[in-house]
Structure 1
């Protein structure tokens, strides 16, 4: 969980959670309406991506709603691959899913240190014992022709 505070006011935040051994899911990225257009969402996403990579995950998954064009555009600008038809009717699609592979070509992302790998392993072990997670979506990284690309 990451929160951005100014004084005693929380102005932005985001979180991630374990989805599977290689995938983290980013959840609840938001910015206060009074603090938008200041780059806070990009800052939060960069910090979350860095921590996800440091814990040894290789993939990031996230969703947004059909009535959030700013979020959709942000994720596209940050290099996330849409797992839906970008020319389709977003209301009919419902949740708009995105995915991003963490590879060395993505600047600023690298897996660091044994300590972070151990922390990630512990987190995954505890979560597996404590919670039931929904299955990872079967459809990933599809091109417009419907052929799997990765």
Structure 2
């Protein structure tokens, strides 16, 4: 595989379309027909500057991975729309994306990152736990979601390996 570059884009950018399609298909497969419609539950404007951002990793025109951050309040940001192209999984792209999004959150002045995932995504649950995210009570519209939080100050205090 060739080099992969981060690109900060609007949620409506062409590079994001494969990500949203992939998420819809994945949610439908894991949670049942219609579950993929949840990718439309947040207005695209919430992922834009100055309070949010959306980033994709692109490899020679192919969207490899992506994710966005959106403001919850003045100190807390939420990561949403995390996805990795199935052809690129198990290569560290999700970790790179999480680090990039956490870095953007810090630059925008946030102190805490939150996210939610579902029971049918054991790979995501394991990844977030391994990276130091702490399980918290559900805060969003999904009753059965598992919610996590990461203190960005604690992350920057840890040495990187």
Q: The TM-score by the shorter chain falls in which range?
A: 0.5 to 0.7
1:47 paired to 2:100: yes
Q: Which 4+ residue blocks in structure 1 deviate beyond 2 angstroms?
A: none
Aligned to 1:37, the other structure's residue is in SS state coil
Question: TM-score, normalising length from structure 1?
Answer: 0.63
- 1:83 positional shift: 1.6
Distance 2:100 2:87 in 1: 21
Matched length: 101
- 1:20 positional shift: 0.6
Aligned to 1:34, the other structure's residue is in SS state helix
Aligned to 1:71, the other structure's residue is in SS state helix
Q: 1:95 matched to which residue of 2?
A: 145
Aligned partner (choices 22, 28, 33) of residue 81 of structure 2: 28
Q: 1:88 matched to which residue of 2?
A: none
Question: TM-score, normalising length from structure 2?
Answer: 0.59
Aligned to 2:132, the other structure's residue is in SS state coil
8 Å Cα contact 1:24-1:52 kept in structure 2: yes
Larger radius of gyration: 1
Q: 2:119 matched to which residue of 1?
A: 66
Gap regions ≥5 residues in structure 1: 85-92, 110-150
Work out which structure has the larger RCO, using CA pairs closer than 8 Å and 6 or more positions apart in sequence: 1
Q: Which structure carries more helix by proportion?
A: 2
Q: 1:107 matched to which residue of 2?
A: 156
Gap regions ≥5 residues in structure 2: 1-53, 138-142
